[in-house]
Amino acid sequence: MASIPEYYAGKSVLITGATGFMGKVLVEKLLRSCPEVKALYILVRPKAGQSMKQRVSDMMKCKLFDRVREDNPDFHQKIIPISSELTQPGLSISSEDVAKLTACINIVFHCAATIRFDEPLKHALQLNVIATQQLLSLAQQMHHLEAFIHISTAYANCNRKHIDEVIYLPPVEPKKLIESLEWMDDGIVRDITPRLIGDRPNTYTYTKALAEYVVQQEQDKLSIGIIRPSIVGASWQEPFPGWIDNFNGPSGVFIAAGKGILRTMRASNDAVADLIPVDVVINLTLAAGWYTAIYYLLIPTFLNPLEQAFRRPNANITSNYLINQYWILVSHKFPAFIYDLFLRLSGQKPQMMRIFNRLHKAISLLEYFSSQDWEWNSDNMNMLMGQLTPKDRKMFNFDVRQLNWPEYIENYCIGTKKYVLNEDMSDIPAARQHLRKLRNIRYTFNTLLVVFIWRVFIARSQMARNIWYFVVSLCFKFLSYFRASSTLTN
């Protein structure tokens, strides 16, 4: 059997979502580890005033591609951008491009999706389900297609506790839902969304479940593989440790906690954080492409500190709603209010409350996932690992048992600093100095608060004074008792 790089040699690959977090890592790894790959066709749309060409050219300048650039400075010649807006009929691909793709593509990786938890249902359905359906139709016209790999999510079936590697019946027949939503205006759809998504937490997981079903419907016509990553985080090793480019999931949590903004979060201390490094997911995805295609080809024969932190980082996790609300008030809203007051008084625009409102929205959307855990069956993944040659197993490593988690989390946090916030590592001493300043401000503030409480409440009331003296003398008694017992034991 061909090794993975041998399989991809001479192949033309179509990738959707190549400008996204996982898509970029997929493009990079394919170019670096399968240098004989013929061409990568990527579906890209113009965005935020930038043309498709400009976006792709910016993407290739990104640090992520440094290693590929070193190996092959002309790597960009293998990337062929195709203009496509996935929410439009026919994916808005020109007829010339359709002809080009149907003539040459061997493998499709469908990564594009909206991953927003608060996406209005109609849009999530349009992109995650209808676009997938359209891509499958296009794939069926491809004369040399060997594999169609769809990236789903481990949370597509998060309404179940135990999840097997099967496609579960969808909550509703996607075709019927698409037809009924067509005539409804956005207001009606918004009103019925909670009823439709039922026991799933958001439109994202709901539409990803529908998309899996839509993909499965084509299994007789196409050779299909579905990947279900859990919470995808910074890279473990490749192309270098800690690479990350977004605020999603844990990244936003690490950054907000590192900046000292996030001080409390509702989550279960017992739940497992199902974090998986992006390079592991991409290695598995490429291996799955190889396996699905090889299987198909056999059919004819036989089948560190952050800069300018708001406060010192100290985020606490609690599963208790009331305790969390208390800390939100004391540790988030109160300091934000004070800071905004200071900004107002010094003639500047208040901003901290706005930032916290945004943070609370983001964190509350993660709560469903951070407060419980799931059991996933991974027999297929283990089987796939067993099929790889020792060399491929090393080059396309997705065996997370070798992962040193503390080291990974440290690299992840450094990665958010370097690649998301673009902060310089040489500024660390200044960042530490800033944290020391914050600590001194806190000590001063706490001292002033104690003096204030004393003056206002205790010094003015005989009863409060008595209670105060009682508590202080009790503390002294405890202290002298412990001192005496420790002297005895010594």
Ligand X SMILES: NC(=O)C1=CN([C@@H]2O[C@H](COP(=O)(O)OP(=O)(O)OC[C@H]3O[C@@H](n4cnc5c(N)ncnc54)[C@H](OP(=O)(O)O)[C@@H]3O)[C@@H](O)[C@H]2O)C=CC1
Ligand Y SMILES: CCCCC/C=C\C/C=C\CCCCCCCC(=O)SCCNC(=O)CCNC(=O)[C@H](O)C(C)(C)COP(=O)(O)OP(=O)(O)OC[C@H]1O[C@@H](n2cnc3c(N)ncnc32)[C@H](O)[C@@H]1OP(=O)(O)O
For ligand X, the closer of residues 11 and 208 by Cβ is 208
For ligand Y, the closer of residues 276 and 286 by Cβ is 276
Among 45, 69, 100, 333, interactor with ligand X by CB under 6 A: 45
CB of 19 to ligand X, least distance (A): 4
CA separation for the pair 414, 407 (Å, rounded): 11
CB of 317 to ligand X, least distance (A): 20
SS (H, E, C) the chain: CCCHHHHHECCEEEEECCCCHHHHHHHHHHHHHCCCECEEEEEECCECCECHHHHHHHHHHCHHHHHHHHHCCCHHHHEEEEECCCCCHHHHCCHHHHHHHHHHCCEEEECCCCCCCCCCHHHHHHHHHHHHHHHHHHHHCCCCCCEEEEECCHHHHCCCCEECCCCCCCCCCHHHHHHHHHCCCHHHHHHHHHHHHCCCCCHHHHHHHHHHHHHHCCCCCCCEEEECCCEEECCCCCCCCCCCCCCCCHHHHHHHHHCCCCCEEECCCCCCCCEEEHHHHHHHHHHHHHHHHHHHHHCCCCCCCCCCCCCCCCCEEECCHHHHHHHHHHHHHHHHHHHHHHHHHCCCCCCHHHHHHHHHHHHHHHHHHHCCCCEECCHHHHHHHHHCCHHHHHHCCCCHHHCCHHHHHHHHHHHHHHHHCCCCHHHHHHHHHHHHHHHHHHHHHHHHHHHHHHHHHHCCCHHHHHHHHHHHHHHHHHHHHHHHHHHHHC
| Span near ligand X by CB under 6 A; candidates 167-175, 227-235, 324-332, 351-359 | 227-235
CB of 274 to ligand Y, least distance (A): 8
CA separation for the pair 119, 100 (Å, rounded): 33
Interface with ligand Y by CB under 6 A: which residues? 115-118, 153, 155, 231, 247-250, 252-253, 255-256, 273, 275, 358, 361-362, 365-366, 369-370, 409
Among 64, 113, 158, 336, interactor with ligand X by CB under 6 A: 113
Q: Out of ligand Y, ligand X, none, which partner does residue 81 contact, by CB within 5 to 8 A per kind?
A: none
The residue with its CB nearest to ligand X is: 20
Q: Does 225 help bind ligand X (rule: CB under 6 A)?
A: no
CB of 443 to ligand Y, least distance (A): 28
Q: Out of ligand X, ligand Y, none, which partner does residue 87 contact, by CB within 5 to 8 A per kind?
A: ligand X
For ligand Y, the closer of residues 4 and 275 by Cβ is 275
Interface of this chain with ligand X, residues 242 to 271, rule: CB under 6 A: 246, 248-249
Among 15, 27, 86, 309, interactor with ligand X by CB under 6 A: 86
For ligand X, the closer of residues 122 and 208 by Cβ is 208
Q: Does 22 help bind ligand X (rule: CB under 6 A)?
A: yes
Which is it for strands 39-44 and 12-16: parallel, antiparallel or unpaired? Answer: parallel
| Span near ligand X by CB under 6 A; candidates 68-76, 79-87, 99-107, 175-183 | 79-87
Q: Out of ligand X, ligand Y, none, which partner does residue 47 contact, by CB within 5 to 8 A per kind?
A: ligand X
CA separation for the pair 334, 449 (Å, rounded): 13
Q: Out of ligand X, ligand Y, none, which partner does residue 19 contact, by CB within 5 to 8 A per kind?
A: ligand X
Q: Out of ligand Y, ligand X, none, which partner does residue 273 contact, by CB within 5 to 8 A per kind?
A: ligand Y
CA separation for the pair 486, 490 (Å, rounded): 6
Tokens 């625009």, residue located: 349
| Span near ligand X by CB under 6 A; candidates 78-86, 165-173, 320-328, 435-443 | 78-86
Q: Does 59 help bind ligand X (rule: CB under 6 A)?
A: no
For ligand X, the closer of residues 224 and 328 by Cβ is 224
CB of 232 to ligand Y, least distance (A): 7
Q: Does 127 help bind ligand X (rule: CB under 6 A)?
A: yes
Q: Does 85 help bind ligand X (rule: CB under 6 A)?
A: yes
CB of 375 to ligand Y, least distance (A): 16
CB of 84 to ligand Y, least distance (A): 21
Binding site for ligand X (CB under 6 A): 17, 19-23, 45, 47, 84-87, 111-115, 127, 151, 153, 208, 229, 231-232, 246, 248-249
